[in-house]
């Protein structure tokens, strides 16, 4: 058996893949948080709860309406995204004139309500979601066996992240968005409907979280706490990356997932805390974050 640093290669690559998968979720969630923060100046604490909702909507589509995985991958983000738009229109938009902290508190309350309601309805034990038959099985890559579904998660997450980056950096809609982030009143003076842009941004960020939720559904059991488990780590990821750059969020997300995976191989006890340790190091050496702008 091939060994790398005294570790069997399949184990190393297996953990690397698991790390990439976690990294994919970190990337999609921190990307959504960064986009929403850029436009709304709100840290969306409910991001984890909406990620969980994405997984639940996919589960509900399958079990109540017999709609499969691939349609759910489109439908669930749409449904949850519309929910996000309604939230923004009815509740969150009332806070823009207040201190940013109120946005954090409101969305924290929102996440408690959403998670509590799902816990009441479905309990905390979690429900399985089958991997679609096309993506079952594993492929021999020569150096390791890769479960197809895991490869699919990493690939589709990378594509969606890059597509989001391309929309924001390379299209005229993205240009308007970036301009509105910089100076909303000026963009409004040019005749752009900024409040609508804000609403759509929130919806898009939420849809991204829900998409991640659907991808996560077959890997983790679909349960009301699945978002909370992620979101605290994602906050550390956001602090490490800084919220200044879209590409930065993506890279930081994937990289930290890999760091976490590698820690599991070499020093498993620290795998839960390694992201936080990285955060401490970053705070000591570069407080504004790897890609953050100077305050």
Partner 1 sequence: MLGFSRSQFIAFLIMVALIVVCPFVLYPVFLMRVLCAALFACAFNLMIGYVGLLSFGHAAYFGMGSYVTAWTMKHWHLDAFLAIGLGGLTGAALGLVLGYLAIRRSGIYFAMITLALAQMVYFFCLEAPFTGGEDGIQQVPRGRMLGFLDLSNDMTMYWVVAAIFIGGFLTIHRIIHSPFGQVLKGIRENEPRATSLGYRTDDYKLIAFVLSCAITGIAGGTKALVFGIATLTDVHYSTSGEVVLITLLGGLGTVFGPAMGALIVTAMENYLAQAGAWVTVIQGAIFMVCVLAFRRGVIGEIANWRKLTL
Alpha-carbon gap, residue 201 to 75, rounded angstroms: 18
Q: Rounded distance, CA 244 to CA 292, Å?
A: 5
Candidates 96, 102, 152, 165; binder of partner 1 (CB under 8 A) is 102
Q: Tell me: does residue 238 bind partner 1 (CB under 8 A).
A: yes
Q: Is 120 in the site for partner 1 (CB under 8 A)?
A: yes
> Could you count the other beta carbons within 10 Å of the beta carbon of residue 188?
14
Based on the shown chain and the rule CB under 8 A, indicate whether residue 249 belongs to the binding site for partner 1. Answer: no
Q: Is there a contact between 34 and 238 (Cβ–Cβ < 8 Å)? A: yes
- Specify the DSSP element, H or E, that contains 139: strand 138-140
Q: Using CB under 8 A, pick the residue from 232, 266, 267, 293 that binds partner 1.
A: 232
Q: Which is nearer to partner 1, 12 or 87 (CB)?
A: 87
Using CA atoms, how far apart are residues 9 and 98, in angstroms rounded to an integer?
A: 53
Helices (H) and strands (E) counted in the chain, each on its own, are 11, 4
Among 7, 11, 104, 290, binds partner 1 (CB under 8 A): 104
| Contact stretch for partner 1 (CB under 8 A) within 3-11, 15-23, 55-63, 287-295 | 287-295
Binding of residue 276 to partner 1 (CB under 8 A): yes
Work out which of 25, 36, 54, 115 binds partner 1, going by CB under 8 A: 115
> What kind and span of H or E run contains 252?
helix 246-266
152 part of the interface to partner 1, by CB under 8 A: no
Q: How long a stretch of residues is the chain?
A: 295
Minimum CB separation of residue 108 from partner 1 in Å reads 6
Q: Between 44 and 83, how does the x/- string for binding to partner 1 read (CB under 8 A)?
A: ----------------------------------------
Taking the least distance from each CB to partner 1, the nearer of 107 and 201 is 107
Quote the Cα angle for 47-34-186, to 5°.
Answer: 120
β-bridge mates for residue 127, sequence order: 222
User: By C-alpha distance, which of 171, 276, 214 is closest to 28?
Assistant: 214
Which residues from 154-213 bind partner 1, rule CB under 8 A? none
Q: Which is nearer to partner 1, 14 or 292 (CB)?
A: 292
Q: Where are the alpha helices (DSSP H) in 171-193?
A: 172-182, 184-189
- Residue ranges that bind partner 1, judged by CB under 8 A: 37, 43, 91, 94-95, 98, 100-102, 104-106, 108-117, 119-120, 232-233, 235-236, 238-239, 269, 272-273, 276-277, 279-280, 283-284, 287-288, 295
């Amino acid at each position: 058996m091939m060994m790398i640093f005294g570790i069997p290669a399949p184990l190393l690559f297996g953990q690397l893949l698991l790390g990439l998968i976690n990294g994919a979720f970190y990337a999609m969630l921190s990307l959504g948080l960064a986009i929403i923060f850029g436009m709304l100046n709100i840290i969306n604490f409910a991001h984890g709860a909406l990620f969980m909702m994405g997984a639940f909507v996919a589960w509900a589509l399958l079990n109540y309406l017999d709609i499969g995985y691939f349609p759910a991958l489109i439908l669930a983000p749409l449904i949850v995204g519309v929910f996000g738009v309604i939230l923004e229109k009815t509740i969150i938009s009332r806070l823009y004139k207040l201190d940013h902290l109120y946005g954090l508190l409101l969305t924290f309350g929102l996440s408690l309500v959403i998670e509590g309601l799902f816990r009441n309805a479905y309990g905390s034990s979690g429900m399985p979601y089958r991997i679609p038959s096309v993506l079952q099985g594993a492929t021999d890559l020569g150096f390791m066996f890769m479960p197809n579904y895991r490869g699919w998660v990493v690939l589709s997450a990378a594509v969606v992240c890059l597509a989001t980056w391309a929309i924001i950096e390379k299209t005229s809609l993205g240009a308007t968005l970036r301009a509105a982030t910089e100076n909303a009143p000026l963009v409004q003076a040019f005749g752009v409907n900024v409040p609508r842009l804000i609403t759509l941004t929130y919806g898009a960020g939420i849809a991204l979280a829900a998409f991640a939720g659907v991808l996560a559904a077959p890997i983790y059991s679909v349960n009301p706490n699945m978002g909370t488990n992620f979101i605290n780590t994602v906050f550390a990821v956001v602090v490490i990356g800084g919220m200044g750059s879209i590409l930065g969020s993506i890279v930081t997300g994937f990289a930290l997932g890999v760091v976490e995976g590698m820690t599991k191989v070499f020093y498993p006890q620290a795998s839960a805390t390694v992201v936080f340790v990285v955060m401490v190091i970053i705070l000591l050496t570069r407080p504004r974050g790897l890609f953050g702008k100077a305050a």
